[in-house]
Amino acid sequence: MRTSELIAALAADPVPEPVHLGRRFFGAAALGVLGALALYLVFVGPRPDFAEAVRTIRFDLKFVNAAAFALPSLMLLFRLARPDARPGALALWLFAPLVLLGAAVAVEMMVVPPGQWLSRLVGDNWMYCSTMIPMMAAPILAALIVAMRAGAPLRPGWTGALAGAASAGAAALLYASHCTDDSPLFVATWYPLATLVCAGAGALLGRRFLAW
Amino acid sequence: MSAASVEGPPDDPWSSMMKAAIAGDEGVYRRLLEEISRSVRAMARAAFARARLGDADVEDAVQETLLAIHLKRHTWDPSQKLSPWVNAIARHKIIDAMRRRGARRAEPIEDFEEFLAAPAEEDPHALSDAKRLIETLSPRQRDIVRSISLDGQSIAATAARLSMTEVAVRVALHRALKSLGAAWRSSLS
């Protein structure tokens, strides 16, 4: 087929409804979070001493951290929906939660005697943390992948991995209110592990569904 | 990624053409695709030459780019310029085509604005993947694509010949183009 012949076929093809990527992306993200919230309310729920916990810095830091990761990763993901995306300074924001968490771990190791490090790191809920976060992230990841399919991301695998990580960040925001392990040592170990699980799943989904 | 792209003129004609095309102007859309194909062809030729690949498969890269632009055009953001969007898609598809021919490490590919001075014409002897991929379509889809592209018939004439409604022909054509895109993609792996 000559290119001029292909062009004739393309020109005869009807015009589809324009897609507003922003509306679609953030609509999907909201829908996914609602799904995660439903799972949270049914299976997870807030910890019993939630009201007192809010007044401790370790507890609050978990939310700051999760938000500091979830927001820039979602924004970056949205940007990558376009082929001519320039990640720019937004990508650097992904380092913010790492720096924050690193500093928190350093402080924790200064104020807590070395004998307690390991028990704080392992905590009581490590198994729960590394399964509940991926479980609540699943509906968010699914919604994000569906929304990104409308776009044209250049690197399907990496984009999918970022979608997985972003969904884990949002799920961690919910999970943090349930978990009684507040030590940065715990948070810096198990939350990233759960995020890696989600990023791996996202990479697989991305390679399968985001190529175009 | 290559060096900074050359910015087009402020009253960016391609963007206005695409807006008209999305509003339903078939003639403008055809002209836009022709202009884009010439620019992308020049861009692909340069990239293939630099990777020491022959010219034989340049047209595949051009056609794949056009099809991708076509299938994603409704997600282009009209508040942005069209040419960076087209450049990104073309670069992506050219690299795919080069990998398929065994080029290992892609050299940076210049934006097509670098070549605008000498728009390239199609090599009339080039055989394309599209011909082979059309064979993977269902008989009805193949018939419709051939009728409109190769034989240059209108939607109406095709519909009359196949005793289908025009809407049905358009739907079948759209499905055929989408599966053509998918067939191209799977020929990658």
- A7 and B85 within 8 Å at the Cβ level: the answer is no
Q: Which amino acid does the sequence have at B88?
A: A
| Segment B131-155, tens digit of pLDDT | 778 888 888 888 888 888 878 788 8
- Neighbouring C-beta atoms of residue B154, cutoff 10 Å: 14
Mean pLDDT of A47-63: 94
Contact B159, B173 (CB under 8 A): no
**CA atoms of B18 and B78, how far apart (whole Å):** 8
Return the CATH number of the domain spanning residue range B130-186.
Answer: 1.10.10.10
Q: Is B188 exposed, middle or buried (0-12, 13-18, 19+ CB in 10 A)?
A: exposed
**CA atoms of A17 and A152, how far apart (whole Å):** 16
Taking CB atoms and an 8 Å cutoff, what residues of chain B touch A14?
170, 174
Mean pLDDT of B111-137: 69
**CA atoms of B73 and A9, how far apart (whole Å):** 15
User: Cα separations (Å) of A6 from A3, A13, A72, B34, B144?
Assistant: 5, 11, 41, 10, 12
| H helical segments located in chain A | 3-12, 21-39, 50-53, 57-80, 89-92, 95-111, 117-122, 126-149, 156-175, 184-209
How confident is the model at residue A18, as a pLDDT?
86
* Alpha-carbon distance B61 to nearest alpha carbon in chain A (angstroms): 11
How confident is the model at residue A156, as a pLDDT?
94
* Alpha-carbon distance A50 to nearest alpha carbon in chain B (angstroms): 44
Read off the tokens for A88: 């720019």
Which band of pLDDT confidence, cut at 50, 70 and 90, is reported for residue A186? very high
- pLDDT at residue B60 greater than cutoff 80: yes
Mean pLDDT of A64-83: 96
How confident is the model at residue B120, as a pLDDT?
64
**CA atoms of B36 and B42, how far apart (whole Å):** 10
- Neighbouring C-beta atoms of residue A174, cutoff 10 Å: 22
**CA atoms of A131 and A44, how far apart (whole Å):** 11
- pLDDT at residue A178 greater than cutoff 80: yes
* Every domain of chain B and the residues it spans: 13-125, 130-186
User: Cα separations (Å) of B130 from A5, A22, A176, A192, B181?
Assistant: 11, 33, 53, 45, 10
A112-121, A136-145, B171-180: the lowest-pLDDT one:
B171-180
**CA atoms of B162 and A32, how far apart (whole Å):** 45
Q: Who among B89, B148, B150 is closest to A12 (CB)?
A: B148
A41-50, B37-46, B96-105: the lowest-pLDDT one:
B96-105
- pLDDT at residue B1 greater than cutoff 50: no
- B84 and A84 within 8 Å at the Cβ level: the answer is yes
Which band of pLDDT confidence, cut at 50, 70 and 90, is reported for residue B10? low
- pLDDT at residue B2 greater than cutoff 50: no
Element holding B148 (H helix, E strand): helix B139-149
Taking CB atoms and an 8 Å cutoff, what residues of chain B touch A12?
26, 148, 154-155, 170, 173
How confident is the model at residue A140, as a pLDDT?
98
Mean pLDDT of A143-159: 95
DSSP state of A18: P
Taking CB atoms and an 8 Å cutoff, what residues of chain B touch A83?
72, 85, 88-89, 92
Mean pLDDT of A67-79: 96
Taking CB atoms and an 8 Å cutoff, what residues of chain A touch B157?
none
DSSP state of B3: S
**What mean pLDDT value characterizes chain B?**
82
DSSP state of A40: I
Name the fold adopted by B13-125.
Rna Polymerase Sigma Factor; Chain: A (1.10.1740)
Mean pLDDT of A23-28: 96
Tally the residues of chain A: 212
How confident is the model at residue B153, as a pLDDT?
83
- A9 and B148 within 8 Å at the Cβ level: the answer is yes
Percent of chain B at pLDDT > 70 equals: 82
DSSP state of A43: I
| Segment A92-110, tens digit of pLDDT | 999 999 999 999 999 999 9
Mean pLDDT of A137-149: 97
- pLDDT at residue B117 greater than cutoff 70: no
Q: What is the three-class DSSP state of B55?
A: helix
Which band of pLDDT confidence, cut at 50, 70 and 90, is reported for residue B69? very high
Q: Is A111 exposed, middle or buried (0-12, 13-18, 19+ CB in 10 A)?
A: exposed
Query: Which residues of chain B form beta strands (DSSP E)?
Result: none
- Neighbouring C-beta atoms of residue B135, cutoff 10 Å: 8
DSSP state of B118: S
**CA atoms of A69 and A37, how far apart (whole Å):** 18
CB within 8 Å of A155: residues ≥ 6 apart:
A80
How confident is the model at residue B3, as a pLDDT?
40
A101-105, A172-176, B95-99: the lowest-pLDDT one:
B95-99
User: Cα separations (Å) of A166 from A154, B8, B63, B172?
Assistant: 18, 36, 35, 38
